[in-house]
Structure 1
Amino acid sequence: MSEERLPDDARAEHADSLPDYAERVLEVTELIPPGRVMTYGDVAEWLGEGGPRQVGRVMALYGGAVPWWRVVRADGVLLPGHELEALDRYRAEGTPLREAGRAAEGHLPRLDLRRARWDGAACAEGHT
């Protein structure tokens, strides 16, 4: 997330001004169950449009109104600048984590993507 992210109630207020792609990215984000994650690339692939950078840009600009911590980097590293907030949310939701090794910067865990990754299969029937 960046300093530019919208407050939690701003999405509803700005829904008419959201670009179509941004609205679809945020809708996918809201489908991700607690304790599970999708990478930026996973979201783009699920939509069949854009790429990880486009999804990341949407999340940076508009992601504050959705569970942004569930859209993650492909390497499992916690979002720079928001590590502690994300970590609190992951722990509260039971998201699988890999404990940090001694060499890890800040000794922060990473997401265990093998166990935490969600493929959206439960929602595929409704996906258009």
Structure 2
Amino acid sequence: MSFNNRVYEIVRHIPEGMVVSYGQVAYMTGSWRASRAVGYALHNSPRDRKLPCHRVVFKDGRLTTGFAFGGKDVQRQMLEAEGVVFTADGRVDMAKCCWNPQEPIS
């Protein structure tokens, strides 16, 4: 499976109301230093896959300014609608909302 397809498979499994960081996705692909490549893969993902790309954030909970669906305000609205908790400074509360799967994703 290609790197991009592995990224898409992982992102497809992120549960509603949870987030992961680009670095976590890279780690789950087996390429722990490829967080930028994860962002590139998501930016270029086929729209017909309907991936929950909005659930991928920076490791400190910041939202990306280049979110493909309309910027970080839209990303935040989508996450809040799913119950994701934000801190007072506008970051995702990673302690409460970070997804850490216990089983490998296949």
TM-score > 0.5 by shorter chain: yes
Letter aligned with residue 55 of structure 2: R
Segments of 4+ in structure 1 off by > 6 A? none
Segment drifting more, 64-73 vs 30-39: 64-73
Q: TM-score, normalised to structure 2's length? A: 0.83
> What's the CA shift for 1:86?
0.6
Of all paired residues, the percent bearing the same amino acid is 29
Match of 1:41 in 2: 23
Q: Is the 8 A contact 1:26 1:63 kept in 2?
A: no
> What's the CA shift for 1:93?
0.2
Unaligned 5+ segments in structure 1 are 1-18, 101-108
Q: By percentage of residues, which structure has more helix?
A: 1
Q: TM-score, normalised to structure 1's length? A: 0.70
CA deviations on 1:40-60 (whole Å, 9 max, x unpaired) are 110111121251111111011
Match of 1:117 in 2: 98
Match of 1:7 in 2: none
CA RMSD, Structure 1 to Structure 2 (Å): 1.8
Query: Structure 1 residues 74, 63: closer, same or farther in 2, change over 3 A?
Result: farther
Q: Is the 8 A contact 1:35 1:94 kept in 2?
A: yes
